[in-house]
Amino acid sequence: MTDGLPKPPSGGNGRLLPPDAGRDRPLFVVAAILVFLACIAALGARGAWLQAQRWTTDLETSLTIQIRPGESRDAEADATLAAEITAGFDGVEQATSRGRDHALALLTPWLGEGNLPDDLPLPLLVDVRTRPGSLVDTEGLQARLDAEGMTARIDDHGRWAQAVRRAAGTAQALGLGLLALLAGAAAAVIAFAARASLAARLDVIDALHLCGAEDRFIAGLFQRRFFMLGLKAGVAGAIFAGLVSLLVSLGDAPADMAFFLPQWASDPFEFVLLALAPILAGLTSAISARLAVASDLRGRW
């Protein structure tokens, strides 16, 4: 009765799940913000670690020797001698004795210029730069200086390095803890949204079920949808986080602030992290959506 059958519509399959713009957009924004914060936290933890590394190598490659002026001793000569002796030690790159002028300059900010009597005994400093990665035998050095009869104190900054490292460790743990919390929050938000989306689409679910769709099939639909949502939100959040950290490192924040801000060190780590973020966001979203939907479906007959 129909001559020439009508052609089936060309093009792919229509979407089984209707687009859900009203719900998806706010969810996208929330997910993007979570990814952004997670990236910032990760970059911050990384920044703290880098900064600490830089400072501790600075501290670890330098020693300071303090020469106390003693009775009937020429402090300037002692300092020069100490520099010479130190320069002969293994691992020392350079030892410079700082004269009285340097010591005075260090005090000026506190005491003002010219307020000190010329004959006031001042401790003199010897700056020692060591080769990175090599240990200087500070005990041997102390013994040598003592043998010369001078009152010298070697400060290897170990205390400071340790403090910096501890602070960096704390900042890092904070960053990672924050990361874990954000991941948990993201998973919960997605699970909630997936359940809501399932509930709003019960007509579709029923129709699919009665057509013989398996739970796996239906859960797969939601999984794909939420993977895409997580992926897109992840891309947006990661790009934004990258921009912010770039801005932070372009503007010169003081070092103590930079400690807590994400730094764009433009090394592969940043790129890997930012590239991984959308994928991780997509996977987190897909898995939590799948689990939520599967558990909801099991409750229905």
Partner 1 sequence: MRYGRGPEILRDLSFDLPRGSFQFLTGPSGAGKTSLLRLIYLAAKPSRGLISYFGRDAATLPRNELPDLRRRVGVVFQEFRLLGHMNVFDNVALPLRVAGRKRQDYAEDVAELLAWVGLGEKMNALPATLSGGEQQRVAIARAVVGQPEVLIADEPTGNVDPEMGMRLLRLFAELNKLGTTIIIATHDLQLVRMLDAPVMTLSNGHLHIRPPRSERLRMREEAEAEAEAERVSAAPAVAAPRTPDPDDPSNPDTDMTGGHDD
**Site for partner 1, rule CB under 8 A:** 2, 5-9, 12-16, 18-19, 203-204, 206-215, 217, 298, 301
HSE at residue 87, side-chain half, CA atoms within 13 A, is 11
Q: What are phi and psi for residue 277, nearest 5 degrees?
A: -55, -50
Measured from the CB atom, the residue of 101 and 203 that comes closer to partner 1 is: 203
State in angstroms the smallest separation of the CB of 223 from partner 1.
16
Measured from the CB atom, the residue of 110 and 301 that comes closer to partner 1 is: 301
Measured from the CB atom, the residue of 6 and 268 that comes closer to partner 1 is: 6
State in angstroms the smallest separation of the CB of 229 from partner 1.
18
CB of 289 closer than 8 Å to CB of 189: no
Q: At what angle do helices 215-250 and 268-298 cross, to 10 degrees?
A: 150
Measured from the CB atom, the residue of 254 and 299 that comes closer to partner 1 is: 299
Measured from the CB atom, the residue of 50 and 213 that comes closer to partner 1 is: 213
The Cα–Cα gap between 283 and 295 comes to 18
State in angstroms the smallest separation of the CB of 47 from partner 1.
46
State in angstroms the smallest separation of the CB of 202 from partner 1.
11
Long-range contact pairs involving 198-201 (C-beta distance under 8 Å, separation at least 24): 198/222, 198/292, 198/293, 198/296, 198/297, 200/20, 200/23, 201/17, 201/18, 201/20
State in angstroms the smallest separation of the CB of 251 from partner 1.
48
